[in-house]
Amino acid sequence: MRISTIAFANLRRRKGKAFFLVSGIGIGIGTAVALLSLSVSLREEIGSQMDQFGANIVVTPHSDSLALDYGGVSVAGVSFDQHQLSNDDAAGIRRIPYRKRLSVVAPKLLGTVDVDGRRTLVAGVDFASELRLKKWWRLAGRAPESASDVLLGYDVARAASAIEPFPGTSADADKSSAHHSAASEEFRITKERVTIGSREHRIAGVIGQTGGPEDRMVFAQLSQVQDLLGRPGQLSVIEVSALCKDCPVEDIVTQIRKELPHANVSAIQQSVRARAEAVDRLSRFSLVVSAVVLAIGALMVFTTMMSAVVERTKEIGVLRAIGFRRTHIIKGLMIEVVIISAAGGIVGWLAGLLASRLALPYFTEAGAQIELRVSLAVFAIAIAMLTGIVSSVYPVIRASRLDPSEAVRYV
């Protein structure tokens, strides 16, 4: 008689206890799989959300400054040896070794010009890059399409009488709106053109109230502003957004500094560190909860196997009496444990995957998805088998040490 045949026969004979063990291991593995799947999905969603917060690397011109003091009275400092950024510098950033880790490179030129007779800050931008960088903007109107199109900040549009509230809303209510989307819906554009410097430009859209400097700015095509300010090819600042899912921001900064030795390159670490800390805390919490649940499952296996050894004393004693060795007893019991553990791992993986998909909408808002990972299934089954085997080592060894004379009691 083969040992595996005996093991399968025991499992069929004790279906209730086998089901109990499979359920115990499955609950532990299912909890671990659900928490790990949720943490991975949340990690990716948080990374995507952080990418939408804008630039995390800022490149500015390098300059030396000297603070002046006369008779104990401080006066304005003097900047000297200032290096100007250019379009070639923006192109140089796109040539660094980690260029594939860069999401957006957004060059800008800032200056002041007359906008309908008012001195206003104008930003020359590449609209394709700028709109990808500033994903939180809510536009009334459309995105610029031609070189003469401009976007007005909310305060500039009000000052230029380019917008008016919809009937039934007040300007003050519009101004105090906390939601950008609501702000953009409560006014309409009433003016088609605006004079910037000595040139007329078409108003493509108005940026909903942000509460930031954008409200007091006009955004125009970079080449147009360079021409208006008489600074062809020059830039004031370059904003860079790195892909933040495990992006090596410090390495990217180092490479940009090497490419642009005449510029100041600064990483805005707050957003990256906040994301990393939040994800790390979530991962640690998931690991702790998973470990506790798996420990409970291991304890269930241990107690069930101990009781099974006591109940099967007659059977084990008879097997030993007819010539089965200790290794045979250990092998037979371990076959049972491995089958039960593997079944528990598969059940737990499926249950955890289902639970994580059902729970995900309550934890995310951006439509994140739970991916089907074969590696997670292999990991779940391996951990289930390891938990079952480790929990059964002592009961199995104890069973193998039963004396054959124990069988005499039951004859």
How confident is the model at residue 372, as a pLDDT?
74
Token look-up 């390159």 returns 265
Helix 374-400 vs helix 326-363: crossing angle, to nearest 10 = 150
How confident is the model at residue 178, as a pLDDT?
38
DSSP string over 326-384? HHHHHHHHHHHHHHHHHHHHHHHHHHHHHHHHHHHHHH-SS-------HHHHHHHHHHH
Token look-up 């950033």 returns 93
Sign of the dihedral through C-alpha 126, 131, 137, 142: positive
- CB within 8 A of 211, min separation 6: which ones? none
How confident is the model at residue 5, as a pLDDT?
76
Taking alpha carbons only, the member of 206, 49, 202, 75 closest to residue 137 is: 206
Coil, strand or helix: which one is 279?
helix
Distance CA 313, CA 328 (A): 15
Buried b (16+ CB within 10 A) or exposed e, 372-384: eeeebbebbbebb
Task: Provide the Cα torsion 27, 29, 30, 35; round to 10°.
Answer: 120
How many of the other CB atoms lie within 10 Å of CB of 323?
8
Do residues 216 and 74 lie in contact, with contact meaning Cβ atoms separated by under 8 Å? no
Number of helices (H), then strands (E), belonging to the chain: the values are 13, 16
How confident is the model at residue 182, as a pLDDT?
39
How confident is the model at residue 90, as a pLDDT?
93
How confident is the model at residue 168, as a pLDDT?
55
Cα-only R_g, the chain = 34
Amino acid of residue 401: R
How confident is the model at residue 65, as a pLDDT?
56
Coil, strand or helix: which one is 243?
coil
Local mean pLDDT, 10-residue blocks, the chain (411 residues): 72 78 84 82 66 70 60 51 82 90 90 89 93 86 91 91 70 41 62 88 91 91 92 92 70 90 80 63 79 82 77 72 77 84 90 85 65 82 87 80 60 50
Amino acid of residue 82: Q
Per domain, the residue ranges of the chain are: 3-50+276-410, 56-267
How confident is the model at residue 17, as a pLDDT?
78
How confident is the model at residue 366, as a pLDDT?
55
How confident is the model at residue 173, as a pLDDT?
42
Distance CA 55, CA 206 (A): 22
How confident is the model at residue 245, as a pLDDT?
57
- CB within 8 A of 323, min separation 6: which ones? none
Distance CA 370, CA 78 (A): 56
199 sits in which H/E element = strand 199-207
How confident is the model at residue 260, as a pLDDT?
92
